[in-house]
């Protein structure tokens, strides 16, 4: 689970009077089924959520988490192909993972994550002051910290890198190991075109962690009933909708209508805003015409290279749902590259 999702689950369990342990994947060597920063939550009553290995070692992590909840002492658990325990619980992929397990008091984290600001969380996972944590804001620096002075004084460059790349890292400072993970609002997907592919893409993208906005001037098509997973549904022509959308570098834009009157204003605005991903529906012939129109309108050729058209990875899709998978796959590729 991503950080915001983990906090939502932990907050619900805490409100129910349960204690929470968080197991976080802090180091990966070789192949592993889950990315760095993946998290598995365990409550004091046996609830479970998330994953650190895709199911390979969670049974063993669960046992350690219950012991951490009982003792209050954090620990790092190692699993590798050469470990008998790892083989017994199913980690046969050939990699090695380190999992940090701690009791999770989220009161100092949740308000900051919910604020929508960009920053990072840093926690000591080895050495002096294990379990100490800090909240770092991308603009204001450390908002709170229980880190040792020598660690906090030498951490800023690592934190800045994590904020920029949105990828967790583990760093060593003196005798301590510190795991740093990014805090960022979910990426936003704006779908222009309330068509069947848009419905499928909206549902898939929501489940992949995107906030989704759907825009189309046709009121009969652009309804909450047709797009129940969307965070917002806007019944406006693109020129009017763009005034309230505030496209930025964390925005993904998908255009599912290749009518020039509809798509050209969006293409120009998205390129000017340097959005993270810009894809437009249509054949190769349609895309060549699209590029020529934009060049004739003065859009620099290098900027046009940023438009994904025909949209999506070519997986041989047929149905609307399969086309949505192709588009989402290309978006995920753009997000992590």
Q: How far apart are CA 131 and CA 179, in angstroms?
A: 10
Q: How far apart are CA 241 and CA 227, in angstroms?
A: 17
What is the pLDDT, as a whole number, of residue 56? 77
Q: Which of 223, 266, 224 is nearest to 245 (CA)?
A: 266
Q: How far apart are CA 268 and CA 196, in angstroms?
A: 25
Instruction: Report the alpha-carbon angle 53-277-256, nearest 5.
Output: 110
Q: What is the pLDDT of residues 149-200, one digit of tens each?
A: 888 889 988 899 898 888 899 999 988 999 999 998 888 999 999 999 999 9
Residues shown for the chain: 337
Q: Where are the beta strands (DSSP E) in 6-118?
A: 20-29, 39-43, 48-50, 75-80, 96-103
Q: What is the pLDDT of residues 309-337, one digit of tens each?
A: 999 999 999 999 999 999 999 999 998 77
The pLDDT of residue 261 is above 60: yes
What is the pLDDT, as a whole number, of residue 138? 87
Q: What is the token pair recorded at 26?
A: 């802090």
pLDDT-based confidence at 297, cuts 50/70/90? Answer: very high
Q: What is the pTM of this model?
A: 0.74
pLDDT-based confidence at 91, cuts 50/70/90? Answer: low
Q: How far apart are CA 260 and CA 264, in angstroms?
A: 5
The pLDDT of residue 260 is above 70: yes
Regarding predicted confidence, which is higher, 65 or 140?
65
> 188's torsion region: left (phi>0), alpha (psi -120 to 50) or beta?
beta
What is the pLDDT, as a whole number, of residue 289? 94
The pLDDT of residue 115 is above 80: yes
Q: How far apart are CA 279 and CA 217, in angstroms?
A: 20
What is the pLDDT, as a whole number, of residue 89? 53
Structural contact between residues 326 and 293, judged by C-beta atoms closer than 8 angstroms:
no
The mean per-residue pLDDT over the stretch 201-226 comes to 95
Q: How far apart are CA 16 and CA 12, in angstroms?
A: 6
Could you give the count of Cα atoms lying within 13 Å of 149 in the half-sphere of its Cβ?
A: 0
The mean per-residue pLDDT over the stretch 4-27 comes to 93
Q: What is the token pair recorded at 269?
A: 């605005």
The mean per-residue pLDDT over the stretch 236-253 comes to 93
Give the rounded percent of residues in the chain with a pLDDT score beyond 90.
Answer: 66
Type and span of the H or E element at 17: none
What is the pLDDT, as a whole number, of residue 196? 96
Q: What is the pLDDT of residues 25-58, one digit of tens each?
A: 999 987 777 889 999 999 999 999 999 987 779 9
The pLDDT of residue 277 is above 60: yes
Instruction: Report the alpha-carbon angle 229-235-236, nearest 5.
Output: 135
Q: How far apart are CA 44 and CA 47, in angstroms?
A: 7
* Phi/psi at 7 (5° precision): -65, -35
């Amino acid at each position: 689970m991503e950080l915001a999702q983990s906090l939502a689950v932990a907050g619900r369990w805490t409100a129910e009077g349960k204690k929470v342990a968080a197991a976080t994947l802090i180091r990966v060597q070789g192949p592993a089924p889950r990315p760095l920063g993946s998290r598995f939550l365990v409550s004091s009553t046996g609830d479970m959520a998330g994953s650190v290995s895709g199911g390979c070692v969670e049974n063993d992590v669960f046992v350690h988490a219950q012991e951490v909840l009982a003792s209050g002492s954090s620990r790092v658990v190692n699993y590798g192909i050469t470990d008998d325990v790892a083989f017994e619980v199913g980690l046969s992929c050939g990699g090695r993972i380190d999992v940090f397990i701690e009791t999770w008091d989220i009161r100092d984290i949740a308000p900051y994550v919910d604020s929508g600001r960009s920053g990072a969380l840093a926690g000591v996972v080895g050495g002096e002051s294990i379990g100490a944590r800090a909240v770092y804001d991308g603009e204001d620096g450390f908002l709170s910290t229980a880190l040792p002075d020598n660690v906090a004084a030498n951490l800023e460059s690592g934190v800045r890198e994590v904020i920029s790349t949105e990828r967790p890292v583990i760093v060593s400072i003196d005798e301590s190991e510190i795991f740093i993970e990014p805090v960022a609002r979910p990426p936003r997907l704006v779908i222009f075109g309330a068509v069947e592919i848009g419905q499928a893409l909206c549902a898939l993208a929501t489940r992949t962690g995107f906030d989704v906005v759907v825009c189309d001037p046709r009121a009969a098509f652009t309804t909450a009933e047709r797009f129940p997973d969307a965070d917002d549904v806007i019944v406006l022509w693109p020129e009017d909708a763009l005034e309230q959308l505030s496209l930025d570098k964390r925005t993904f834009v998908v255009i599912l209508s290749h009518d020039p009157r509809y798509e050209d204003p969006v293409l120009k605005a998205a390129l000017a805003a340097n959005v993270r991903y810009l894809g437009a529906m249509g054949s190769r012939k349609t895309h060549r015409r699209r590029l020529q129109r934009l060049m004739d309108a003065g859009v620099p050729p290098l900027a046009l290279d940023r438009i994904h058209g025909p949209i999506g990875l070519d997986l041989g899709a047929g149905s609307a749902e399969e086309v949505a998978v192709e588009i989402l796959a290309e978006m995920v590729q753009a997000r992590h590259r």
